[in-house]
Amino acid sequence: MFNLLPRDTLFFDLFEGLSRHCVNSAELLRKLARNFPVIDADILAIRSEEHAADELTHAALQRLDQTFITPFDREDIHTLTDGMDDIVDTIDALAKRFTLYHVKEMELAFIKQTETLVSATIALSEAVHRLRKTRKLSELADKLIEIHRLENVGDEQNHAAVSAMFQNNNKSAVEIFKWKELYDLVEESIDHCEDVSHTLERIVLKNG
């Protein structure tokens, strides 16, 4: 029955494009962390990804407004596109803070969190690509489970990093404030990946 339903492939092109911007932004943030303090080019590249993701999100919502028959519920399309856009927006907001807060040195724990974020966005992108061909939860399950696992890893990394900061008597209150927000934002980006995975799960369950 599913094969008889009309499909608008442009929506899937837009979803997959947004998922690539999520991966690109996360990889650029990891590159920024590894290259620190030479970060200006990476911040500009992340800003470019954010602009491109905004354009795709706008295109998806415009298409939604103009299309009578959609691949799945309009609300779910809206939630899916907004969720991926949120990932890129949060990474962009995080990158800007390195210059805004005049951060002087990189923390190894932060680099580890960016690696977790990259892994989460890659798993998410792979799940989004599968959506074009399937509505079976079993065919997305491994990626959704992996995103959930990585979200738990991100939580643990965040708690460990923040706890270590408060134990470090050499850090000023200002430095702790700066880094707590940076750690919270990278964790928020990982949380957004899990939010999108929940949307994907809802889509396949409703349309399988």
CA 118 remoteness from chain centre: 8
Q: Which domain holds residue 192?
A: 8-207
Domain count of the fold of the chain: 1
pLDDT exceeds 70 at position 206: yes
Residue 3 lies in a domain: no
Average pLDDT of the segment spanning 76-99: 97
> Distance of alpha carbon 188 from its chain centroid, rounded?
9
Asked if residue 173 belongs to a domain, the reply is yes
Please spell the DSSP secondary structure of 98-153, one letter per residue.
Answer: HHHTT--S--HHHHHHHHHHHHHHHHHHHHHHHTTT---GGGTHHHHHHHHHHHHH
- Does 87 fall in a domain? yes
**2 within some domain:** no
Residue 162 is part of a domain; what is its CATH number? 1.20.58.220
Q: What is the pLDDT of residues 104-152, one digit of tens each?
A: 999 999 999 999 999 999 999 999 999 988 777 788 999 999 999 999 9
Check pLDDT > 60 for residue 205: yes
- DSSP codes joined into one string, 9-22: HHHHHHHHHHHHHH
Across the chain, what does the average pLDDT equal? Answer: 92
Percentage of the residues of the chain whose pLDDT score is greater than 70: 96
Residue 145 lies in a domain: yes
Q: Cα–Cα distance between 203 and 195 in angstroms, integer? A: 13
Q: Which residues of 44-61 are buried (b: 16+ CB within 10 A; e: fewer)?
A: ebbeebbebbeebbebbb
Q: What is the DSSP string of 42-101?
A: HHHHHHHHHHHHHHHHHHHHHHHHH-SS-SS-HHHHHHHHHHHHHHHHHHHHHHHHHHHT
Cβ atoms < 10 Å from Cβ of 70:
15
Report yes or no on 185 lying in a domain: yes
Residue 146 located in a structural domain: yes
For helices 74-100 and 9-35, give the axis angle rounded to 10 degrees. Answer: 20
> What percent of the chain is modeled with pLDDT above 90?
76
User: 203 in a domain, yes or no?
Assistant: yes
Ramachandran sector of residue 102 (left: φ over 0; alpha: ψ -120 to 50; beta: rest): left
pTM: 0.93
**Predicted confidence (pLDDT) at residue 79 exceeds the cutoff of 70:** yes
Rounded Cα distance between 58 and 52, Å, is 10
Alpha-carbon Rg of the chain, whole angstroms? 18
3-state secondary structure of 37: coil
Tell me: the pLDDT tens digits for 46-73?
Answer: 999 999 999 999 999 888 888 878 888 8
Distance, in Å, from the CA atom of 151 to the CA atom of 41, rounded to the nearest integer, reads 28
Per the listing, tokens 């992108």 go with: 125
